[in-house]
A and B are shown apart, each in its own frame.
Chain A
Amino acid sequence: MTGATGPWEPDDEALLAALGDALQEEDAVPPRVTAMGKGLFSLYSLEAELAALEQGDKLLAGVRSTATGTRELDFTLGHLTLHVELSARQLSGQVVPPQPGEIDVQTQGDRPRRVEVDEVGWFTVTPPPRGEFRLLFLGADGLRTVTDWIAG
């Protein structure tokens, strides 16, 4: 163990013993503990579906191209709009009506990312996602919105 004794620098014996502990620890978990956790995820999906039903149909994406090569996309759900501008340098956007929260970006083949949405609803993702991506907005009041997949 570490702590007062300083960092852990295992030799072969110590590393093999630690591997034994690690594999044993995993085997020791009663399967019902993990099974219960996995089973509960249906509650999360259900919740998201209900929110979508209450607030309208699937998100509608409008795409406009501008002379500068920046693409503008609007996603609406009920009276919430995610206005997104995608350029070669960055993805930026605004939540309307303005409100703080966070935006998560999921891409095909790249690691997911998370950015803050400021008090006036602005957010920036630099560099912009490569390839197909989708956005999830989490509002401070618990509102959760996922966009469709967007071609990068």
Chain B
Amino acid sequence: MPEDVPIGDLFLSARFGEQLAWDELVERLAPLLWSVCRRFRLSDADTDDVSQSVWLKLLERLGQINEPAALPGWLARTTERECLRVLDVGKRRRDRETAIDRDVPAEPASGTAEDLVEAAERNAAIRAGFASLSPRCQELLRLLLHDPPLSYVEIGERLDTPVGGLGPTRARCLDKLRRSTPVADFLEMDFDRGRR
């Protein structure tokens, strides 16, 4: 399943019972689910509980009449609700309200659900764009992002390329990423959103 298939198309194909489309849909939405969960600092067991509920609700949604386009926003809201639910269950079970108040920030630490959705959409677009690049561009960009950072000399050695060519290749690969359909579409959408 290519990474640049729109998420709404994956949703429709999954409706027809296609496991591969569903798998890709889960892969695409998992980072968003995780980014919401992380803000609530859930235990592993609670994270499992939340992800199971959210995936089941997504499955339910396959059987309902709806627009598949608004999936990321729906997923973020649903995950947030499920996180609050397991926290609430845990709170009542343990009956230790002060511990919860101390452990869980009342205001989510890193922005609103809307911000998370936009960040997730941007990241998904970038990953899809990255996947559409040539293996050579992907390798170079990964090396440039290496942690700890590598020098141009080391990168040149690994790629068996003269160091002088790395700068122009880097610019060319990033330009291809910027112009790739998923990233270009996101930037255009974001531009429209910024003007509103």
Contacts and interface: CB of A to CB of B under 8 A. Distances in A.
Do A and B interact? yes
Interface of A: 1-3, 6-10, 12, 15-16, 18-23, 25-26, 28-30, 32-34, 36-38, 40-41, 43-45, 47-48, 101-102, 104, 106, 111-114, 134, 136, 138, 140, 142, 144, 146
Given A7-B194, A36-B48, A106-B12, 11 more contacts: A8-B194, A29-B33, A41-B19, A41-B22, A43-B59, A44-B14, A48-B17, A104-B12, A113-B12, A138-B63, A142-B64
B187 A7 contact: yes
Contacts of B51: 32-33, 36-37
A52 to B, nearest CB: 11
Contact of B63 (A10, A16, A106, A144): A144
Contacts, number: 148
Interface of B: 6, 9, 12-17, 19, 22-23, 26-27, 29-31, 33-35, 44, 47-48, 51-52, 55-56, 58-59, 62-65, 67-68, 115, 118-120, 122-124, 126-127, 130, 141-142, 144-145, 170-171, 174, 177-178, 187, 190-195
Query: Secondary structure at chain B's binding surface: helix, strand, loop or mixed?
Result: helix
A111 B9 contact: yes
A49 to B, nearest CB: 9
A43 B57 CA distance: 12
